Amino acid sequence: MNKRIRNIGVIIVCLTVIIYWVYKGAYNDVENTNPNNNTENTANLMFRILEKDIPLQDLNSMIGDSTIKYDNDSTSFINILRHQEKIDVSIDKIAPLSTSEFLSMSYKKTTFNNYKTYLKNNNNFNNWDSIYKMLNSDYNFNLSELANYIKEVGFFTTNNTTYYYLKTNEPHNVSSILNHINDSTETYITEKRNYYKTNLDNLFQLLADKLFTENNNYYLSTSDYFIFSSDTTQLYDLYLSLDTGNILENNPVYSDYKRYQSAKYGLHYYSDITSSEDSNNTIISYQLRDENTMVSTHLKILKFEKKQDIPIDSILIDTITTDTLTQNILVNSLLKDTTITDTLTQKELGEIRYTLVKGETFRKASLKLKLKLEKNNYDYNKVKTDHVFFVTDNGTTKLNWNTAIKRYLDKKQPKEGDYFFMKKFFY
């Protein structure tokens, strides 16, 4: 009897052990699989957000904190964040008030080296390295040296224009390095700002390609920032914002967002996705930071009572008024600061016209036209496409804006006497 009971006990113990190990094995399979899937999905989330490739309702289900494990083979782009420093959001000092999206990422030489490792492990290094060596041999430009002085990189978007920027604690050294790739024929010297064009249009792709997809090779510098765009007209728009204090930190929607940013992160992403039909302002806030063996992420969808829409132009005028300047004084000051001679003339009451002088490029003339339009209370970006024409061949050929851009912008040289004109209209 005792032997029988003992045998039954042994059988029960054996079955228990078997069941436990079967369960443990199944649990480990799940445990080893799910985090990897979750890591992959979370790592890709940043790029899906940037590409506007994820519905808001899906984002709502992901709100909160998460982690992304670094992969051992460093094939994931997220691995460039290893040993990344944490930063506060400071882009509001340079981004225009109407900025709808920005990304700020801490960057240093370690980030640069992590990025090279990522390229090598994805078999993309050779092409990058050939460009790196060409820049060194042809221009004596050392990208690795530049990375030594970078503290932050990012972008901001306003009115469908995207600017790239880098921040540094040593602007003089960065300026000296960039000077190696500057195009001396496309440098615009003014009393307050210098505009430069580089012979390299993909600088930011060489620093972190998946975050920067556009080619921007014109830039200006202000304090610790070097800001890049695709042409000088966009830089001039930015200059106006900086010169008048018409910047993001004064945007009430952004101020609401800033109140909810407490902890420091290595990467900050902001996107105002509010539409005109919405009753609330809606902001996507996504942040990442290095945590030794993984990346910690924090996603929030912020909703605030919608602010009354304030036209940007009226804010600009209010800013000028508080500085005891009138709009005309500002325009005259800008004309002086940019050493542009006001040869803009109004031929008749109902028309705004600017005639090009000998040797003047289409680009430079369009900047002067922009000043004239703004002096007459027209928004250059809103009226140029449908209302501005370019007249050539002694007045016999009339081109609309888009056709003129394709034919003349940085291509064909206009002739002396060609002119822009726009008939005035109620606006």
**CA atoms of 34 and 67, how far apart (whole Å):** 13
Task: Tell whether 50 and 64 lie within a shared domain.
Answer: no
- Res 18: pLDDT: 55
Task: Tell whether 356 and 255 lie within a shared domain.
Answer: no
Task: Tell whether 96 and 44 lie within a shared domain.
Answer: no
Lowest mean pLDDT across 235-249, 313-327, 348-362, 370-384 = 313-327
Task: Tell whether 214 and 67 lie within a shared domain.
Answer: yes
Tokens 């339009």 map to which residue? 373
Rank 92-106, 189-203, 254-268, 319-333 by mean pLDDT and report only the highest. 92-106
Task: Tell whether 389 and 281 lie within a shared domain.
Answer: no
**CA atoms of 146 and 150, how far apart (whole Å):** 7
In a domain, 115, yes or no: yes
pTM: predicted TM-score of the whole model, two decimal places? 0.66
- Res 188: pLDDT: 72
- Res 266: pLDDT: 94
Average pLDDT in the 242-261 region?
Answer: 90
Task: Tell whether 131 and 270 lie within a shared domain.
Answer: yes
- Res 2: pLDDT: 53
Task: Tell whether 30 and 130 lie within a shared domain.
Answer: no
In a domain, 310, yes or no: no
Task: Tell whether 173 and 234 lie within a shared domain.
Answer: yes
Burial 157-193 (b: 16+ CB within 10 A, else e): bbeebbbbbbbbeebeebbebbebbbeeebebebeeb
User: Nearest Cα to 86, choosing from 268, 285, 283?
Assistant: 268
- Res 264: pLDDT: 86
Residue 272: partners with Cβ closer than 8 Å, 6 or more residues away = 100, 101, 253, 254, 281, 282, 283
Lowest mean pLDDT across 70-84, 99-113, 295-309, 330-344 = 330-344
* Residue bearing the bigger pLDDT, 251 or 194: 251
Lowest mean pLDDT across 195-199, 264-268, 341-345 = 341-345
Average pLDDT in the 381-388 region?
Answer: 86
User: Nearest Cα to 43, choosing from 267, 232, 342?
Assistant: 267
Tokens 């790029």 map to which residue? 47
pLDDT tens column, 99-149: 999 999 999 999 999 999 999 999 999 999 999 999 999 999 999 999 999
Average pLDDT in the 309-323 region?
Answer: 42
- Res 120: pLDDT: 96
- Res 332: pLDDT: 45
User: Nearest Cα to 296, choosing from 75, 150, 88, 86?
Assistant: 86
Average pLDDT in the 86-111 region?
Answer: 95
Lowest mean pLDDT across 60-64, 88-92, 149-153 = 60-64
- Res 113: pLDDT: 97
- Res 35: pLDDT: 39
- Res 271: pLDDT: 94
Q: Quickly state the pLDDT bin for 56 (edges 50, 70, 90).
A: confident
**CA atoms of 91 and 94, how far apart (whole Å):** 6
Report CA-CA distances (Å) from 347 to 1, 24, 55, 390, 423.
121, 87, 52, 15, 11
| Domain extent for 5 | 1-54
* Residue bearing the bigger pLDDT, 47 or 189: 47
- Reading phi first (left if > 0) and then psi (alpha if -120 to 50, else beta), residue 187 is in beta
**Helix 232-244 vs helix 362-375: crossing angle, to nearest 10:** 40
State the sign of the Cα–Cα–Cα–Cα dihedral 87, 232, 191, 181.
positive
Task: Tell whether 82 and 176 lie within a shared domain.
Answer: yes
- Res 348: pLDDT: 38
Task: Tell whether 46 and 150 lie within a shared domain.
Answer: no
Task: Tell whether 39 and 67 lie within a shared domain.
Answer: no
- Res 334: pLDDT: 41
- Res 159: pLDDT: 84
In a domain, 319, yes or no: no
Q: Give how many domains the chain has, as a whole number.
A: 3
In a domain, 316, yes or no: no
Task: Tell whether 92 and 238 lie within a shared domain.
Answer: yes
- Mean confidence (pLDDT) of the chain: 81
In a domain, 1, yes or no: yes
262 phi and psi angles, rounded to 5 deg: -105, -60
Q: Quickly state the pLDDT bin for 86 (edges 50, 70, 90).
A: very high
In a domain, 312, yes or no: no
Q: Quickly state the pLDDT bin for 339 (edges 50, 70, 90).
A: very low
pLDDT above 90 covers a percentage of the chain that reads 44
In a domain, 324, yes or no: no
